[in-house]
Structure 1
Amino acid sequence: MKRLLVALALLVPTTGAAQDMASAPGGTLRFLDKVTGRVEDLSLSRGQAVLLGRLTVQLDECRYPRDNPAADAQAHLTVMETEGARQMFSGWMLASSPALSAMDHPRYDVWVLSCDSGFVAPEVTEPDNEEPLEEINEG
């Protein structure tokens, strides 16, 4: 346990102040069934649970950096095996480092993709004119 704490301390950047985090009303998770190959992205509200295969996945909390909403999401999940009501995972998952705190299940994998911060990425639009771009001659 002590080695794990030391390893985690080395991974955390040493800055003067902690990063200011905001709480989101929901988040997006990705679910993988390793046997069938089924992949599904799910948008859940805070506190919402969903049945996926033989698992019940609940999004307890989702946080993101206040100054950069598109950056790293951190979600607290509770995952229960439906049959037998056995807890498979309860803890924080980081979008940028899913293996750091991963759920250990032989068939299923769940990880966080993003928080619903209200941030909307700008749409990519096509140019208005259909004139070809000038070619650059290499001489």
Structure 2
Amino acid sequence: MMKRYVGVALLCGAAEVFLPIAAQAAVGVAPPAMYPAATWQGQSQAVLRVLDRLDGHLELLTVPVGGSATYRSLSVGVEACVTRPQTLATDAGALLHLKDTSDPQRPPFDGWMLAQEPSVATYGSPLYDVRVVSCAGVSTAPQAGPLPVVKAPVLAGAEVPVEEGGDAPASPPGSASGGPVPLAPDSHNPIPLAPSSGAAPSLAPAAPAQSSGQPLPPPQADPGLE
């Protein structure tokens, strides 16, 4: 079975040592676990705020799910109250049944009200204004359930594989096996210039040219040697 390695080059004195180590894939950071956006958790109580428009009085009511409460002439019934889990944006919704006994001509309100979006559903009474504040109590149905399991991603291309028995990486510039080429000649170690022609220069004297058909004159003695 072919193994994959990552090479680590170490400089030990004047020699370069190549040590192969086993390659390992890099593992990223896992995102935090969160519930899906459509997850709601039921609770046993609904916290409501009731405003009397005549005198501006505010009343905070805590009504159990399945029960009812009365504020002056307003009857408030709660059928369900759900809230978002802690890992999602805060919001609460309550299924309410509202009836003003002092105004029998007005039909009762039956529907959902949301804490963060009160304009979606309002109680159209000229006397009372009802808003959902939050849900309280113990957890009931529907259940949010356990958080989903999030796995850390494996980063592709984070390793440098080298096949077993492969060549070691090239020596970096400036190491013992190779050095940088100077851009200018050094005064202490000048670089010799190569001759313009391909042949090497000769230090022996050139042979005299011979003319065709005529003998060479005898050599004359140097007067300084006599």
Q: TM-score, normalised by structure 2?
A: 0.42
When you count strand as a share of all residues, which structure comes out higher? 1
Q: Which residue of 1 aligns with 2:127?
A: 107
Q: Which residue of 2 aligns with 1:60?
A: 79
Q: How many aligned positions are there?
A: 103
Q: Contact conserved, 1:31 with 1:108, CA < 8 A, in 2?
A: yes
Q: 2:95 aligns with which of 64, 76, 82?
A: 76
Structure 2: which 5+ residue stretches go unaligned? 1-35, 140-226
Q: Contact conserved, 2:44 with 2:138, CA < 8 A, in 1?
A: no
The ranges of structure 1 where at least 4 consecutive aligned residues each deviate by more than 3 angstroms after the TM superposition are 67-70, 83-87
Give the number of the structure whose alpha-carbon radius of gyration is greater.
2
Q: 1:98 aligns with which of 118, 123, 126?
A: 118
Change (3 A) 1:69 1:79: farther
Query: 3-state DSSP class of the match of 2:108?
Result: strand
Query: 3-state DSSP class of the match of 1:59?
Result: strand
Q: Contact conserved, 1:20 with 1:67, CA < 8 A, in 2?
A: no
Q: Which residue of 2 aligns with 1:43?
A: 62
Tell me how far apart the structure 2 counterparts of residues 113 and 23 of structure 1 sit (CA, whole Å): 15
Overall identity of the aligned pairs, in %: 32
| CA RMSD, Structure 1 to Structure 2 (Å) | 2.4
Q: TM-score, normalised by structure 1?
A: 0.65
Structure 1: which 5+ residue stretches go unaligned? 1-16, 120-139
Once the two structures are superposed, residues 92-113 of structure 1 have per-residue CA deviations (whole angstroms, 9 ceiling, x without a partner) of 0000011111110001001100
Q: 1:116 aligns with which of 119, 122, 136?
A: 136
Once the two structures are superposed, residues 8-39 of structure 1 have per-residue CA deviations (whole angstroms, 9 ceiling, x without a partner) of xxxxxxxxx65111111011000000001110
Tell me how far apart the structure 1 counterparts of residues 96 and 133 of structure 2 sit (CA, whole Å): 13
- Structure 1 residue 67: Cα displacement: 4.2
Once the two structures are superposed, residues 63-84 of structure 1 have per-residue CA deviations (whole angstroms, 9 ceiling, x without a partner) of 0113448810011100012244
When you count helix as a share of all residues, which structure comes out higher? 1
- Structure 1 residue 86: Cα displacement: 5.6
